[in-house]
Amino acid sequence: MDSKNILILLVAFTLLVNFINYVDRDESKYIKKIELLTKRVAKEKALLGKRVKILDINSSNNLFFDTKKDNNILLGEFQKMVKKIAKKSDFKITNISWGTPTLNEKLNIFILPLKIDAMSTPHSFAKFTKSIINIGKIVKLDMLTIRKSRKLLSYRMYLFAYKKVLNEK
């Protein structure tokens, strides 16, 4: 009876070790934190969506990129800024591309999009996003997807900067 139970235990253990994929403990912690963060952000968006007033654009010129410069020049400056921040935070950008600037007529602003693909550790991603938040301009990080690949995580995200429309009267 004892040898039969030991044999069953050994077979179960062998199956567990050889056939069930597992994630490193550290990475699973980060993935759980990211999942919790995305759930929290979704809840905050739902709550804030009902109560947020539209930003008074006329009184906050320093939050936007220079209105007198061409959109493509601003996208180039925005890209250089993002690459500089990524280099400082050890966030390895593999591809960065511009989107087409679009006009939001309701808010009277141009939206300047960047698409970023990167590979890095969660610590470097955290440093990168913290630095992006602190640049002094309004920058929105949207459509973030994270995938595991070997020892690093791969990221795809969109960053949006804004430029006021120049009123020529």
Give Rg (Cα) of the chain: 23
Q: Which of 5-14, 54-63, 82-91, 97-106 has the lowest mean pLDDT?
A: 54-63
Whether this model's pTM surpasses 0.85: no
How far separated are the first and last CA of the chain, in Å rounded?
Answer: 94
pLDDT tens track for 68-94:
888 889 899 999 999 999 999 999 999
The top-scoring range by mean pLDDT among 10-14, 24-28, 45-49 is 10-14
Residue 160: which of 84, 108, 98, 107 has the closest Cα?
98
